[in-house]
Amino acid sequence: MSKKVVLITGTNSGFGWLTANTLADLGHTVYATMRDTQSKNADKAKALSTVPNITVLDVTLTSEESVQHAIDSIIKKEGRIDVLVNNAGFGASGVAESFTTTDVEEMFGIHVVANWRLMKAVLPSMRKQAEGLIINISSGAGRFAFPFMTVYSAAKFGLEGLSEGLHYEVKKLGVDVTLLQPGAFPTDILHKLKTGSDAAVTAEYGPLAAIPEQMGKGIAQLFETVKPDPQEIADAVVDLINLPKGQRPLRTVVDPATGHIVRAANEGVKIEYEKTLAAFGMGELLN
């Protein structure tokens, strides 16, 4: 296995933390980004910095300047970036109508715009070297819009759309774009769920507004029964890196509980989607 230069966002906890450590243990050169390395995330940044093969970068993903500076500094030092793992994000649940325009802009700003900012920043060098891999961490909720996760699902839909089109556009240039679709896992994201800012609207929904809490209890019971391990996501990233260029699937489902639903949707759409591309004269993009 050749060693890669890997950039991972959102490494202060959860999937990002596990993926950074896993890839570093395998000998890859890892650049782990997070915000507030001198304040809120100082302990996390210090801990990761002590791991061999990991360099922690303080990056604000909503800042064009911050992102570009990070990309330029890595390429200047390493000569390349082989893999980008777009992992940073946050969850949200609650009555959709209670989410203000600002709430929605924040959600799309991280899950869609910031991820695109990273992709656009690494693509020139990846195209130049005719080699590269972009892994976008989506969700099973990026395939279906679950009630009371509407805004979160919408943002993940956006990431799925960017990834799907780009997957076919740059494949022949030597760059693979893939999606990981996790199900529910016991990570910090579940303890930091955003809710809509307009609490008055939530109150008007009466008993319906209690459904998100009921969903949370159901997920807790699921964890006790299925015991999903977040390390599976880090392992899936390793598997994608190890696959030969051009043979990486567009979507990979990692969900021991309800993944069969998402896989069925992926497989059914893929068949008809590829027929449509061929019918529109784009069959060459499939190979």
Instruction: Write the pLDDT tens digit of every residue in 39-94.
Output: 999 999 999 999 999 999 999 999 999 999 999 999 999 999 999 999 999 999 99
- What does the domain layout of the chain look like in residue ranges? 5-258
pLDDT at 222: 74
Question: What's the CA gap between 58 and 15, in Å, rounded?
Answer: 18
Question: Tokens 């360099």 sit at which residue?
Answer: 55
Measured in whole angstroms, how far is the alpha carbon of residue 221 from the centre of its chain?
Answer: 25
**pTM to 2 decimal places:** 0.94
152 is catalytic: yes
Query: Which fold would CATH assign to domain 5-258?
Result: Rossmann fold (3.40.50)
Q: Which of 31, 152, 168, 273 is catalytic?
A: 152
pLDDT at 191: 65
**Most trustworthy range by pLDDT among 182-196, 222-236, 240-254:** 240-254
**Maximum CA pair distance of the chain?**
57
pLDDT: which is higher, 223 or 268: 268
Reported as a pLDDT band with limits 50, 70 and 90, residue 190 is low
Question: What's the CA gap between 53 and 14, in Å, rounded?
Answer: 19
